[in-house]
Structure 1
């Protein structure tokens, strides 16, 4: 289950709340090149749980598979959707043609080919001689919508689902039971003003930025929560993590949650002896 956001306005709003996600459109296997990607925005499960916990977003669960959704569309509804898409595409083409023609006219005025006294017939003749209409048609692009008209027709469950139910559903993909402690680490860092992103590139669960990732480099590489009172810490992982963190100028951080008090504790490790 991957939480996805398709609406650009929602993505802008999420960024104001410190949730940046990873753009995954067209190149999902090269998510590190997110400057070149588009919607949908893929969120971490912790992002969704934090939003739900703070009443900032509704969690909508789509239980139907894509094949069932498509087969459930009636012929009449399919024809209506097709007409809507065609009308929207034609309006987009009309806007593009007008914009490009106006832009071309301004360029012709700047180079002195035409002026305010040029007639429509003279301008049309000039366009034909330059094959301008053909060039405009070949440059038109199809504007892909970032919202779905199909999802409006299906029954999406959202209301009446308890926080515990949503939590269990979101985290059922975790390999071990009791992984809510990792969310508490996430929440504690968010409460301190950090912006978190997936940390797989740097050998961690999260990487933490002191602000918007467009303005700051990440400072921390956070691991999954552990029971540091009883669970042993693998020294090889600690050494390799600390050395990697020093190389990429990040602190290697482990943490855990006290079961009785729910207090969160963090420990940072650096590799000494370099530089």
Structure 2
């Protein structure tokens, strides 16, 4: 997914893997380069809710948009019947061989570090011995192997603790249950959003705003449908609150006042968005409350 170009540049290579669980989309790879919203608990700071980690959850609009453009592969995360097959004898032999080689590598690294420390200890002792050359030999006996053994025991390398990891690295892990198109995902009943006319209009407006170059996040905390950013949300403040309204429903004066005041309080412009089915295009009306200090 990620290809290193130089010390400061990383090229992100699609498609990305997105997992579906209870009709919600999650990204577990940190190199996905999509906005989303982190919802995972930080392992070292579990008793707080200010900062979050992986997985990253996506809005339905993001999933459908990326899927329609071939940028992601969606898969059912926890379907063990499809993802885990019975390993063959050859696969088990290879797994055991690789595990043994890894244990040997770790043991050799440990012994190498131990020998380096032993050599350093001998050298330090020789320096101390030379600096006290005038002292009697009984007060400064030569260093013995026993001393080194006591300081750096030569017992067999302690058993390696195997920490549980994801099982997708196993040779018998089947990762062919992903879908790359909306039609495939809908046929498999894995992803069928948008499935109503309202959701379809919502998705078309989202896609149009995305095509215009906006970064888009959920706008519920500001009373809208989306928040629009002119750049990366980590570097820019949102400038626009986008609210989707039915093009056939009249917008009352009270609605305009409500939207205008909401934009003023949050210091943002209010954008009313509708989808014109006859003209097959999005219609926008932008306004903000003025005349207030």
TM exceeding 0.5: yes
The corresponding residue for 2:245 is: 226
Question: Secondary structure in 2 aligned to 1:156?
Answer: coil
Q: Provide the rounded CA distance (Å) in 1 between the counterparts of 2:165 and 2:239.
A: 36
Residue 226 of structure 1 and its aligned partner are, at CA, apart by 2.9
Matched with 2:9 is none
Which structure has the bigger radius of gyration?
2
Contact 1:45-1:171 within 8 A present in 2 as well? no
**Alpha-carbon separation, structure 2, partners of 1:146 and 1:67:** 12
Structure 2 distance, partners of 1:67, 1:143, is 20
Q: TM-score, normalised to structure 2's length?
A: 0.58
Following the alignment from structure 2 to structure 1, what is the Cα–Cα distance between the partners of residues 193 and 181? 20
- Between the two proteins, the alignment pairs up a number of residues equal to 233
The 1:66–1:170 alpha-carbon spacing in structure 2 relative to 1, beyond 3 Å, is closer
Corresponding residue for residue 139 of structure 1: none
CA distance in 2, matches of 1:235, 1:172: 33
How much has 1:219 moved relative to structure 2? 0.7
Deviation at 1:5, TM superposition (A): 0.9
Say yes or no: does 1:261 pair with 2:262. Answer: no
TM-score of the aligned structures, taking structure 1 as reference length: 0.61
Query: By how many angstroms is 1:197 displaced?
Result: 0.6
* Aligned counterpart in structure 1 of residue 75 of structure 2, from 61, 64, 79: 61
Q: Which of 257, 260, 263 is the aligned partner of 1:242?
A: 260
Q: Match of 1:132? A: none
Higher percent of residues as strand:
2
Native 8 Å contact 2:39 2:52 kept in 1: yes
For residues 228-269 of structure 1, what are the alpha-carbon distances to aligned partners after superposition, in whole Å with 9 as ceiling and x for unaligned?
Answer: 2x2133555543332122111111211111112211111123
How is 1:166-245 mapped onto 2 (pairs within 5 angstroms)? 170=191, 172=193, 176-223=196-243, 225-228=244-247, 230-233=248-251, 236-245=254-263
Q: Tell me by how many angstroms 1:4 deviates.
A: 1.0
Are the equivalent residues in 2 in contact too, given 1:24–1:31 (CA < 8 A)? no
Q: Deviations over 1:177-200 (max 9, x none)?
A: 332111111111112111001111
Distance 2:29 2:285 in 1: 38
Out of 29, 35, 45, which is 1:20 matched to?
35
User: 2:255, 2:49 → 1: CA distance?
Assistant: 24
Displacement of 1:59 in angstroms is: 3.2
CA root-mean-square deviation: 4.9
| TM superposition shift of 1:49 | 1.6
Which structure features the higher share of helix residues?
A: 1
